[in-house]
Amino acid sequence: MIDPRVQLNIPFPPEKQEKLAELIEGMEREQLFWLHGYLQALLQTALTKSLPENSLSGESTPEIPQQTITILFGTHTGNCRKLSQLLLERLGEAGIIAGTFDMDTYRPRQIANERYLLIIVSTHGEGTPPLAAEGFYEYIHGKRVPLLETLNYAVLALGDRSYFHFCKTGADIDSRLEDLKAKRIIPRADCDIDFTDQASAWIDEIVLKLKTDLQAKAISVKPTQDFTKSKTVPRQATRQHPVEAEIAELINLNGRGSSKSTYHIEMVTEPGALHFKPGDALGIWPKNDPALAGRFIDKLPFDREQVVNCKGEDLSIINFLTHHAEITSVSRDTLERYHTLGPNKKIKVLLEDPEKLRNFLRGPDFLDLLHLFPSNLNAQQIVDILRPLQPRLYSIASSLRMFTNDIHLTVGLVRYNGDGRIRKGAGSSFLGERVKKDDKISVFVEENENFRLPVDAASNIIMIGPGTGMAPFRAFMQEREITGGKGKNWFFYGDRNFSTDFLYQTDWQTWRKKGLLTHIDLAFSRDQSDKIYVQNKLKTKSKQVFKWIEEGASVYVCGDSSKMAPDVQKAFTEIIRKEAGKSPDDARAYIKELRRQKRYLEDVY
């Protein structure tokens, strides 16, 4: 039987319905996703073909035969995909037919043919669209996009308030569509990292609005279920419903005398509790350092056991600061709330100057805030000001096929000196210094469909992953080893010193000996007077790198987003320019095309 929720005007005769049901029955989630994407691509081609030639000029707006609602999502780590699926289900329950499309495969000019477009998009990098949304974003901001006077749209934006450009991509798309004369159905919602409640409310609102509007226009809407009931049954552990993992091994990978501490952490879960693929990250819920939380309270005029209320629960302030609040960093929204409750001229100046604010927010923790801008806050106000503690993500450094039930992470301790005080990152010090063997911690998987090994196991790959950027490549190599992937593998790695900082050296040597690792190039920046980084190493292998790319290799970059990833991209542009004799613009276009083909992939943070 076909799912009753989609039994609306089925355009198939009964015998075809049966065949369809037979085909779908028992399909795995992954197979369903594939089929979903395949059918969407077919549908989109059919719709694009039906688009009259002059429709792009904006002079004519063709009538679409049937009222269709398009949900368009732009995602990097999958949150927007999951929400678009939820929206699709909720519309289905309200009897409204819709289709979801990934911006990555959606042809942007199709927008001229849409009447109802619901956009769910995140922001990445430093306020940039996720890779999958780049094409759509550029198209609607370009010169060739027509006016969209007959388009009705709504935007759900995902982001993280701790970033300076909060939800920028969603905001840009929303205002651009307005400029293009499209009609906003409901206001945009800008969701923080803990998006579930706000996104659900937006979904409720849009479903109700569309249902009312379409019914008013007498367009077929037949509810088959009570659509006010959300039915999100988590299929695997999620941020909100994590599972427990037990710490099985904890080793500092850096040798004695290193300026860094990088931890190899092995965890074990119940069999089948987590599903992940190479390229995915593990989300962990950290706990703050109780000593730091204590210093915090020492600055305030109340004691540790002072009771406060957090989300309806009474608890001591020390418990709140240790388990529920971000205290190792200050974000703009925290500063704004701090200023609202205790107005301060200096904070006002900062909040009014984006550049000054940006510089200020790099480094201080909440203790600095109390020190720099003393205030008479009471304990409950502290609770209201601080941002809820967020999970941290770490690339999974092992393959599930090789280590069933195990998860390996490579965690670099964030440690720096500020005003004579050693500061440590909440998540990295929790994992590296405060958890002990046999402790249990809360974890979930953050899927990353944009950082996968090539489908063809015979394809060659070039991996660039200095420092902890190595982590996913260890998983890639294990996967290729266990599955017998025949593609050639080339790794560019770097850190400070060879003798102390070559992480997992024996793993890489073994793979090299076995022939699984075709080449490895190392850049240890502090082993000689000139600083040498992976981008320099790449350029010294220019000819061979270009040959690999021309022969179809995929490039993977993982690690630091602020300097390493842009420098590596510049190095590739130079390589293309030199080896292919292209102009700088053409070389950049070449890289762009590689990105479009998903052969230049980044997982940077």
Ligand X SMILES: Cc1cc2nc3c(=O)[nH]c(=O)nc-3n(C[C@H](O)[C@H](O)[C@H](O)COP(=O)(O)O)c2cc1C
Q: Which residues bind ligand X (CB under 6 A)?
A: 75-80, 122-127, 130, 158-160, 163, 165-168, 193, 561, 605
Nearer to ligand X, 95 or 135 (CB): 135
Instruction: Give the nearest residue (CB) to ligand X.
Output: 159
Sorted by sequence, the CB contacts under 8 Å of residue 44 that are 6+ apart come out as: 101, 105, 106, 107, 110
Nearer to ligand X, 165 or 578 (CB): 165
From ligand FAD, ligand X, none, which one binds at residue 427 (CB under 5 to 8 Å depending on kind)? ligand FAD
CB of 363 to ligand FAD, least distance (A): 4
Instruction: Give the nearest residue (CB) to ligand FAD.
Output: 425
CB of 387 to ligand FAD, least distance (A): 11
Burial class (CB in 10 A: 0-12, 13-18, 19+), 128: middle
From ligand X, ligand FAD, none, which one binds at residue 328 (CB under 5 to 8 Å depending on kind)? ligand FAD
Nearer to ligand FAD, 322 or 410 (CB): 410
Nearer to ligand X, 158 or 245 (CB): 158
Beta-carbon count within 10 A of 80 CB: 29
Burial class (CB in 10 A: 0-12, 13-18, 19+), 523: buried
* Length of the chain measured in residues: 605
Nearer to ligand FAD, 268 or 292 (CB): 292
CB of 152 to ligand FAD, least distance (A): 35
Of 11-19, 127-135, 343-351, 425-433, the segment contacting ligand FAD by CB under 6 A is 425-433
Which of these, 453, 451, 389, lies nearest to 605 by C-alpha position? 451
CB of 394 to ligand X, least distance (A): 12
296 contributes a contact to ligand FAD by CB under 6 A: no
Nearer to ligand X, 239 or 577 (CB): 239
From ligand FAD, ligand X, none, which one binds at residue 136 (CB under 5 to 8 Å depending on kind)? none
CB of 127 to ligand X, least distance (A): 4
Burial class (CB in 10 A: 0-12, 13-18, 19+), 567: middle
From ligand FAD, ligand X, none, which one binds at residue 166 (CB under 5 to 8 Å depending on kind)? ligand X
Contact code string over 388-417 relative to ligand FAD, x by CB under 6 A? ----xxxx--------------xxx-x-x-
468 contributes a contact to ligand FAD by CB under 6 A: yes
Pairing state between β 313-316 and 307-310: antiparallel
Among 281, 523, 534, 576, binds ligand FAD (CB under 6 A): 281
SS3 184: strand
SS3 602: strand
The Cα–Cα gap between 596 and 590 comes to 10
Q: Judged by CB under 6 A, how many residues of this single chain contact ligand FAD?
A: 22
363 contributes a contact to ligand FAD by CB under 6 A: yes
From ligand FAD, ligand X, none, which one binds at residue 160 (CB under 5 to 8 Å depending on kind)? ligand X
CB of 278 to ligand FAD, least distance (A): 13
From ligand FAD, ligand X, none, which one binds at residue 363 (CB under 5 to 8 Å depending on kind)? ligand FAD
CB of 445 to ligand X, least distance (A): 12
Burial class (CB in 10 A: 0-12, 13-18, 19+), 411: buried
The Cα–Cα gap between 61 and 229 comes to 37
Nearer to ligand FAD, 93 or 365 (CB): 365
Which of these, 434, 423, 420, lies nearest to 362 by C-alpha position? 423
Nearer to ligand X, 87 or 94 (CB): 87
Phi/psi of residue 559, nearest 5 degrees: 130, -140
SS3 406: strand
The Cα–Cα gap between 301 and 483 comes to 61
CB of 202 to ligand X, least distance (A): 14
From ligand FAD, ligand X, none, which one binds at residue 426 (CB under 5 to 8 Å depending on kind)? ligand FAD
Phi/psi of residue 558, nearest 5 degrees: -135, 140
From ligand X, ligand FAD, none, which one binds at residue 410 (CB under 5 to 8 Å depending on kind)? ligand FAD
From ligand FAD, ligand X, none, which one binds at residue 503 (CB under 5 to 8 Å depending on kind)? none
Sorted by sequence, the CB contacts under 8 Å of residue 182 that are 6+ apart come out as: 117, 148, 149, 151, 152, 153
Burial class (CB in 10 A: 0-12, 13-18, 19+), 256: exposed
* Beta-ladder partners of 464: 492, 557
CB of 121 to ligand X, least distance (A): 8
Distances (CA, A) of 241 to 1, 86, 194, 244, 406: 32, 17, 12, 10, 19
Sorted by sequence, the CB contacts under 8 Å of residue 472 that are 6+ apart come out as: 278, 279, 395, 396, 397, 451, 465, 556, 558, 603
- Residue with tokens 């309200």, as numbered in its chain: 94
Nearer to ligand X, 169 or 319 (CB): 169
Nearer to ligand FAD, 324 or 392 (CB): 392
Burial class (CB in 10 A: 0-12, 13-18, 19+), 485: buried
Nearer to ligand FAD, 274 or 281 (CB): 281
CB of 310 to ligand FAD, least distance (A): 19
Residues forming contacts to ligand FAD in the complex (CB under 6 A) are 281, 328-329, 362-363, 392-395, 410-412, 414, 416, 425-428, 468, 471, 603, 605
